[in-house]
Each structure stands twice: as structure tokens, then as C-alpha cells.
Amino acid sequence: MFGDITSKEASEPEDSPRRDFQSVLCIAEIIRRFDVIAIQEIRANLKGLRATMKLLGDNYSFILTDVNEGSAGNGERIGFIFDNRRVQLSGLAGELVVPDEWRDTVKDVALTKQFVRAPYAVSFRSHTTTFILVALHIKYGKASADRIEEIRGIAKWMYRWATDINAYDQNLICLGDFNIDERGDLLNETFISTGLYIPPELQNDKVTRSIFDKTKFYDQIAWFKNKKGEDKISMSFANGGNYDFLPLALENRGLTRQQLSFMLSDHYPLWAEFHLPSHS
């Protein structure tokens, strides 16, 4: 719910929203540690985002979608913040939509309507290497079965793009909130059914997603492997994990996890590091 903020150094219990200048400072300091950051749930009100960008300074830029209309879209955008000294935009930006032909093959794709929040694909360049990040936020629905359509649809879309020799670039990485309940459940199996690969470093029990429930497996960073088990990206995965901001934040402000979720996030930031090809 990254939208409005209360224009105080530290908000009071009666203030709405509870997110304040201290909260934004914490968010900005986390962002500074990374080259490209995908953010879900950016709201129509951009006060919080603009305050963050002001703190980050001229070395950082952002690109984002328009607001998703309709109640299911929850008035959200998807966006990227990136460090201009490390990466640059390389020309491609667009939202993924469902081809009409897919709607007649429910058994194959099980996707009969558009994504509630259209996945957002943006290409970046670091040195001579170009890569496309596709950020998305799968609808939550009333039950986990409500999410299968979108998860299967995006997995198939990504597979077709990754295997298309005419695609803009094949360094394709999928990331975001897939609302996958648990490791190994049906939603997780659906997500990886077309060959999307989640590295072991992001699958162990220590890399939790939700600040409330360690069993949840909501967020993912994934890419494709071929039938031989080789990465279909030219970059090589180095490491990954999450960032636990709770201990310091809880200690400094005396907040509950529930309160903190509205000031920073209810999810831990998930990260991955890649080595560029040697010629880069």
C-alpha cells in the first residue's frame, strides 16, 4: 500500500496513514543497496514514492504503470526504481495482455480473461548485457484455486517469450508476488510447470516472505532452464535471499508487526545477485 504518507517525522496512533518520514527513510535506505528494485502495490497517490525518490537523489530513476482500474486491481501500479550509475533503460516497456486465441483453450491455459493486474515488462542494460524484468502481482482471490488461472497463464506466456528467437531479448527474469501459499503446493507446481526455475538459495526455510507467517511462499524470482538443465539466460546466478528489517525497526520504534506492516511492508524484500557475462 505504497501511497500517501503522513508528513511528520514520526506519526501518532491517530494518524492515517501511519507511514511517515522515518518509514520512507528506511525504505530508501533498503533500496540504495540494490541496482534495480521492483515494487508492487504503488497506489494512485504518489506522495510516498516521490518522497522516496527525493531521498535517493538524482542517481535514481523510476518507471511505472498506470493505476489498475476496477475493484480487483485495488488501485495499484507496478513500478521499478533503478540506479542510473549501474543500469539504464534499454528501450522496451510494456504490459502483458492475454491474446484472444488463448480464451478458447481453457483446458490448455485455463485463462479466460485479462490479468487483474497486467504484468509489467521493462528491459534494462548493464554494460553490454540486456535483461528483461517482468514484475507481477497475482490476484489473491477468496481461495488459492482462484489464483491458478493467472499463475498458469503467466507461466505459459513467459515460456513462449523465452523460447521465441525473435524476442527482444532472452535474458528474461520473472519476479513479484505470486501469492503462492506454501513450498511445493499446487500453485507452486503450476508456476514452475513450464520450466521456470527458482534457485535453491530462494527456496530454503530461512528465506521467508511474509513477516507474519514463515510458511508462506508468496514472492518469487525465477527464470527458465532448458531441457538439459542449463539456464536460458546469459547471466549467472550468484546468490539470493531476503532482508529481515524487523529487529532494528521493531526495537527503534516500539511497534508491533501489524503496525510496522503499514509503515514499511508486510513482506520481506527478496533479492537475487547475478554475474554478467565476461565480455560485459
Do 270 and 221 meet the contact criterion of CB atoms below 8 Å apart? Answer: yes
Asked if the model's pLDDT at residue 252 lies above 50, the reply is yes
Handedness of CA 68, 72, 74, 80 (dihedral sign): negative
User: Would 8 be classed as within a structural domain?
Assistant: no
| pLDDT band at residue 156 under the 50/70/90 scheme | confident
| pLDDT band at residue 109 under the 50/70/90 scheme | very low
User: Would 12 be classed as within a structural domain?
Assistant: no
Q: What is the CATH number of the domain that holds 221?
A: 3.60.10.10
User: Would 6 be classed as within a structural domain?
Assistant: no
Count of the separate structural domains present in the chain: 1
Q: In whole angstroms, what is the distance from residue 76 CA to residue 67 CA?
A: 5
User: Would 7 be classed as within a structural domain?
Assistant: no
User: Would 11 be classed as within a structural domain?
Assistant: no
| pLDDT band at residue 103 under the 50/70/90 scheme | low
pTM, rounded to two decimals:
0.86
Tens-place pLDDT, residues 183-232 = 666 556 666 777 778 889 998 888 989 999 888 888 889 888 777 777 78
Do 157 and 209 meet the contact criterion of CB atoms below 8 Å apart? Answer: no
Residue 237: which of 262, 263, 271 has the closest Cα?
271
Crossing angle for the helix pair 47-56 and 21-31, nearest 10 degrees?
Answer: 50
What residues make up the domain containing 255? 21-275
User: Would 122 be classed as within a structural domain?
Assistant: yes
User: Would 46 be classed as within a structural domain?
Assistant: yes
Do 88 and 105 meet the contact criterion of CB atoms below 8 Å apart? Answer: no
User: Would 4 be classed as within a structural domain?
Assistant: no
Average pLDDT on 132-147 reads 71
Residue 43, exposed/middle/buried by CB under 10 A (0-12, 13-18, 19+)? middle
Residue 183: which of 148, 142, 214, 225 has the closest Cα?
214
Do 79 and 116 meet the contact criterion of CB atoms below 8 Å apart? Answer: no
Q: Spell out where 32-119 has E strands.
A: 36-43, 60-64, 76-83, 88-95
Q: What's residue 144's pLDDT?
A: 62
Q: What's residue 106's pLDDT?
A: 42
